[in-house]
Amino acid sequence: MIDSRIYLDHAATTPLAEAVSQAMAPWLTQDFGNPSSTHLEGRKARAAIDSAREAVATSLGVLFGEVIFTSGGTEAANLAILGSAMAGLGGERNKILIGAAEHHCVLHLIKPLAKLGYEIALIPCDSRSRIQPSALVECIDEATLLVSVMHANNETGVVNPISELSVIAHRHGALFHTDAVQTYLTLPTDLDALGADMVSVSAHKVNGPKGIGALAFRSGIKLDPILFGGGQEREMRGGTENVAGIIGFGTAVGLNREPSLRKAARNQFVAVLEKMQVPLGLTVGVGDDVLPSHAHFVLQKSSAEVALIKLDRAGVSCSSGAACSSGSLEPSHVLLAVGFDEARANRGLRFTFGDSTTLEEATEAARRISRVLDPSQWGADE
């Protein structure tokens, strides 16, 4: 019997790997040099950053100089989209297409992009949160500067056909960016495999530290910086580099990963829930086009907010697709995009698994959930 807490929110963040922590430790204490300095301490920091950059570049199938380190996936996506938009100001292309179920770091760019004078259109997704190529064909035209569609949805785990979508974008002369934060080091995310011009990733989703991410981009892509200062990161991102974070990122990409372990734990979890007839309905299933880490459900009654509190008390850490704001739970924009009404869009629960999740933990989590969500104990009015 497992008495401790069970963490099933790996899509939100992953535990820092011990090897990563050890690699970072010296750069938080004795190796404190500024990599822009020319003395020994600075040169040592610069060499360590270069080594980490090479590791990240290799993982994404790009050259050393085609990686810009950022503060995370949000800034990386912002640099790709806003940077492209600012570089394209005054040109003939004034339209930007964004997937309807994107992460907020992309959707919340709509207002600033509109202020720059761009027309923004949302590419509709299907009932499984997937962007079909036919949907992009309906939206795109020769005025399109950029298309941005995430590799896999962060809530449902459904994988988008990025290589097909990028072909359509390029056929119309548009750039293509994908947010690969959820798929990085699980699925192929190199630019050639995806056909993308820009790919944004984050370290803390792959057992690296928080506060560091990267944008990989093809040479020749015109981007304007969105942060200004001392000209670091090839004058694309001003500010002293997060040396320890970058080194942690470079170490994390070299870790051994076993997506099959995540899939086994996830499938065990789903099977036990189904056997116990827990009042949860799988939103998109657990097929081949869903990440091995994800199981997304919609409660048959009541809200996710109540369920999350009860599950937390029962020692199960999971999440809802909804975002807490000012004490109120907003409906999931992803579930709204796939056609759910507001009531059902407030009932989503996401359980996500890591390489360290055991079959025993998956089984025990399902048992705890069955007790918490027992229909005889949990009424529709809660």
Q: How far apart are CA 156 and CA 283, in angstroms?
A: 7
Other Cβ atoms less than 10 A from the Cβ of 86: the count is 16
Predicted local distance difference test score (pLDDT) of residue 1:
56
Q: Once rounded to an integer, what is the mean pLDDT over residues 235-242?
A: 96
On the question of pLDDT at 381 being above 60, the answer is no
On the question of pLDDT at 20 being above 70, the answer is yes
Q: Which domains does the chain have, with CATH numbers?
A: 6-15+257-372 (3.90.1150.10), 18-252 (3.40.640.10)
Predicted local distance difference test score (pLDDT) of residue 330:
82
pLDDT in tens, 74-96: 999 999 999 999 999 999 999 99
Q: Is the pTM here over 0.85, yes or no?
A: yes
The encoded tokens of residue 165 equal: 């979508």
Other Cβ atoms less than 10 A from the Cβ of 240: the count is 13
pLDDT over 70 percentage in the chain: 95
On the question of pLDDT at 328 being above 70, the answer is no
pLDDT tier at 375, thresholds 50, 70, 90: low
pLDDT in tens, 36-77: 999 999 999 999 999 999 999 999 999 999 999 999 999 999
The encoded tokens of residue 344 equal: 């059902």
Amino acid at 372: V
Q: Which residues are catalytic?
A: 324
Sheet holding 294-299, edge to edge: 280-282, 294-299, 348-352
Q: Once rounded to an integer, what is the mean pLDDT over residues 146-175?
A: 98
Q: Environment class of residue 224 by beta-carbon count within 10 Å: exposed (0-12), middle (13-18) or buried (19+)?
A: middle
Other Cβ atoms less than 10 A from the Cβ of 325: the count is 8
Q: Is 133 left (phi over 0), alpha (psi -120 to 50) or beta?
A: alpha
The encoded tokens of residue 187 equal: 């699925």
Cα 232 versus chain centre, distance: 25
Predicted local distance difference test score (pLDDT) of residue 101:
97
HSE value, Cβ hemisphere, 13 Å, CA-based, for 119: 12
Place of tokens 């290799």: 58
Of 43-57, 158-172, 194-208, 361-375, which range is least confident? 361-375
